[in-house]
């Protein structure tokens, strides 16, 4: 029997698409809803340069703002290895490879349902999401 998978909200899908448009890699969505977390979703992705990290954040922020979702805060500046956008129910983490490995949020939140979008360096689209239970 296949488990029922709740649909991903439109604004979360829009954030994923914006990150993909800026060639973010290893995009993972952690569904934290019902786990007692301070947010419903973590969107985690990797960028490979300081300008790319900033571009991913800017694209996500612009896309969600057009949909009426304003960020509560933005952490990290140009030159940082980790940038964060807080939209309340969605927190976007954009890491360099080194920082992502070091902080390993996927391990810390391993009980969350995990949805992966594409494989490293392949450019899979949003429609090719692979779902996995945490």
Mean pLDDT per block of 10 residues along the chain (134 residues) reads 64 96 97 87 96 96 96 87 96 97 95 80 45 43
Q: Smallest Cα–Cα separation from 41: which of 66, 16, 20?
A: 16
Secondary-structure breakdown of the chain: helix, strand, coil percentages, each rounded to the nearest 5: 30, 25, 40
10-116 to CATH, choices 3.30.460.10, 2.60.40.1250, 3.40.109.10, 3.40.309.10: 3.30.460.10
DSSP SS3 for 73: strand
Distance from C-alpha of 109 to C-alpha of 17, rounded to nearest angstrom? 23
Going by DSSP bridges, is the β-strand pair 41-46/90-95 parallel, antiparallel, or unpaired? parallel
Phi, psi of 9 (to 5 degrees): -55, 150
Distance from C-alpha of 46 to C-alpha of 56, rounded to nearest angstrom? 9
Question: DSSP characters for 21-54?
Answer: HTT-EEEEEEE-TTTT-SSSEEEEEE-SSHHHHH
For the whole model, what pTM was predicted?
0.84
Q: Smallest Cα–Cα separation from 20: which of 133, 124, 131, 101?
A: 124
pLDDT digits (tens, 9 = 90+) for 97-133: 999 999 999 999 999 999 998 654 434 445 444 444 4
Distance from C-alpha of 16 to C-alpha of 127, rounded to nearest angstrom? 11
């Amino acid at each position: 029997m296949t488990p029922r998978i709740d649909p991903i909200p439109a604004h979360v899908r829009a954030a994923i698409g914006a990150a993909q448009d800026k060639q973010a890699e290893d995009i993972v969505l952690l569904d934290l809803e019902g786990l007692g977390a301070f947010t419903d979703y973590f969107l985690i992705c990797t960028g490979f340069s300081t300008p790319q990290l900033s571009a991913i954040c800017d694209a996500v922020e612009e896309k969600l703002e057009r949909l009426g979702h304003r960020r509560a805060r933005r952490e990290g500046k140009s030159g940082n290895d980790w940038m964060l956008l807080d939209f309340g129910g969605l927190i976007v983490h954009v890491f360099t490879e080194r920082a992502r490995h070091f902080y390993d949020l996927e391990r810390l939140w391993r009980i969350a349902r995990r949805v992966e979008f594409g494989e490293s360096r392949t450019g899979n689209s949003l429609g090719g999401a692979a779902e996995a239970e945490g």
